[in-house]
């Protein structure tokens, strides 16, 4: 008797690596992997291919567009800041001092100490690295990493928020002391006005409206983050268009970029090590040490892009100024995510052993 024909069954796909899935999901939780890092690379590529589109010669009013975008970024950032949470966060003052000193003192002083090592063509890169070192910490990425590593989440939110506010003052102060910015002579007043109405006033307005619209901002924080990232991509695109149009990168080879990337990795681990030792000496708890490590080692691409456009207006080398920051931004997400994942597993094991 003939056997009935059986429909062939397609072989099931091999199971994906759990560790690989965890790593991808971790980067997605940071809100910066799905498209933003690719968008940064795409913005630089487009600037290289069609620099005339985003340069000063373009008929598109990029300055007006990015200026309005910057003001909106800081308005919605202030809208999500609660005065009550910031006031409550003041209690853990030793932790806050360590994080802010690392961000705004250790980083810049380290860059100044290494300045004699930058000779020849490398000397052109030192201002970009020093600018990176003066920037505040990130907000969303720092908080996400602390959460994954099972750290003190309220303290992370407080430090990330305070860092962003302090950066409005301290980044221009550091750069005006050691770099050739717009903050000299008659341009100082102009810079102050730019910072006032593009950054300070939007933040203050957002904080004052937090009680009424703060819940709305939290409810739509995903969409607001995307709009922030679009503005940053426009700033990066126009900065690199101007740099490519002026031929700023002609003297740099792929090896130079690779060496710069290695330097950014070394900078990250050096700061991470300094904060780790300082936290142990001060006797921080594991949860507070986690906050110090992840909040103190980050640098914000959002603030860097904005401050570059404000502090160095019309500078053809703005693309070169942002290059170390873009590399550090990408590397800090990858390195911090791996460390946060490891520390989170350690915390889970300790909790299971204590149960």
Q: What gap in Å lies between CA 135 and CA 137, rounded to an integer?
A: 7
What share of residues in the chain are helix, strand, coil (percent, to 5)?
A: 75, 0, 25
Residue with tokens 């109405």: 197
Q: What is the pLDDT of residues 149-165, one digit of tens each?
A: 888 877 887 888 788 88
313 domain-assigned: yes
Closest alpha carbon to 301 in 324, 269, 271, 320: 324
18 domain-assigned: no
20 domain-assigned: no
Q: Please give the pLDDT value at position 326.
A: 82
Comparing 321 with 140, which gets the higher pLDDT? 321
Could you tell me the pLDDT band of residue 263, with boundaries at 50, 70 and 90? very high
Closest alpha carbon to 308 in 287, 326, 296, 290: 326
Could you tell me the pLDDT band of residue 316, with boundaries at 50, 70 and 90? low
Q: How many domains does the chain have?
A: 1
27 domain-assigned: no
Q: Taking CA 312 as the corner, what is the angle to CA 253 and CA 61, rounded to the nearest 5 degrees? A: 95
Residue 40: CB partners within 8 Å, gap ≥ 6? 233, 236, 326, 329, 330
Closest alpha carbon to 330 in 299, 294, 291, 295: 299
| 317 CA to centre of own chain | 20
102 domain-assigned: yes
Q: What is the pTM of this model?
A: 0.70
Closest alpha carbon to 99 in 292, 343, 280: 292
Q: Please give the pLDDT value at position 262.
A: 94
43 domain-assigned: no
* CA 118, 249, 184, 134 torsion-angle sign: negative
209 domain-assigned: yes
State the DSSP string of 84-116.
HHHHHGGG-HHHHHHHHHIIIIIHHHHHHHTGG
Q: Please give the pLDDT value at position 161.
A: 79
Residue 37 predicted with pLDDT over 80: no
Asked if 329 and 259 count as a contact pair (C-beta separation under 8 A), the reply is no
Residue with tokens 């003192």: 105
**CATH number of the domain enclosing 211:** 1.20.1530.20
Q: Please give the pLDDT value at position 106.
A: 96
Q: What is the pLDDT of residues 279-303, one digit of tens each?
A: 999 999 999 999 999 999 999 887 8
Domain that holds residue 78: 59-243+253-342
Residue 317 predicted with pLDDT over 70: no
Q: Mean pLDDT, to the nearest integer, of 111-137?
A: 91
Q: What is the pLDDT of residues 182-196, one digit of tens each?
A: 544 445 556 566 667
Give me the chain's average pLDDT, please.
80
Asked if 316 and 243 count as a contact pair (C-beta separation under 8 A), the reply is yes
Q: Two tokens at 89?
A: 């966060």
Q: Mean pLDDT, to the nearest integer, of 118-124?
A: 83
Q: What is the pLDDT of residues 197-210, one digit of tens each?
A: 777 788 788 888 98
């Amino acid at each position: 008797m003939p056997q009935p024909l059986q429909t062939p069954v397609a072989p099931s796909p091999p199971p994906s690596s759990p560790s690989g899935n965890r790593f991808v999901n971790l980067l997605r939780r940071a809100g910066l992997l799905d498209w933003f890092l690719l968008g940064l690379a795409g913005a630089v590529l487009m600037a290289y291919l069609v620099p005339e589109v985003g340069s000063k010669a373009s008929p598109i009013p990029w300055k007006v567009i990015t200026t309005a975008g910057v003001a909106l970024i800081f308005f919605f950032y202030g809208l999500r800041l609660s005065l009550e949470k910031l006031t409550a966060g003041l209690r853990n003052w030793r932790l806050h001092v360590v994080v802010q000193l690392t961000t705004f003192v250790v980083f810049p002083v380290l860059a100044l100490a290494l300045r004699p090592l930058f000779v020849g063509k490398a000397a052109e890169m030192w201002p970009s690295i020093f600018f990176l070192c003066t920037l505040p910490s990130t907000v969303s990425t720092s908080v996400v990493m602390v959460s994954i590593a099972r750290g003190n989440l309220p303290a992370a939110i407080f430090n990330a928020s305070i860092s962003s506010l302090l950066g409005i003052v301290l980044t221009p102060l550091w750069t005006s002391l050691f770099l050739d910015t717009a903050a000299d002579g008659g341009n100082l007043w102009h810079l102050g006005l730019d910072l006032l109405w593009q950054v300070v006033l939007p933040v203050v307005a957002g904080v004052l409206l937090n009680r009424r619209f703060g819940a709305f901002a939290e409810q739509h924080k995903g969409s607001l983050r995307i709009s922030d990232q679009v503005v940053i991509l426009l700033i990066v695109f126009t900065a690199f268009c101007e740099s490519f149009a002026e031929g700023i990168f002609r003297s740099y080879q792929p090896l130079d970029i690779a060496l710069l990337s290695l330097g950014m990795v070394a900078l990250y681990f050096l700061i991470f090590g300094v904060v780790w030792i300082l936290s142990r000496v001060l006797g921080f708890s594991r949860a507070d040490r986690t906050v110090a490590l992840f909040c103190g080692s980050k640098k914000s691409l959002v603030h860097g892009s904005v401050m570059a456009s404000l502090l160095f207006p019309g500078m053809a080398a703005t693309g070169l100024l942002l290059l170390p920051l873009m590399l550090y931004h990408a590397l800090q997400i990858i390195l911090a995510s791996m460390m946060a994942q490891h520390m989170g597993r350690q915390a889970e094991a300790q909790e299971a052993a204590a149960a």
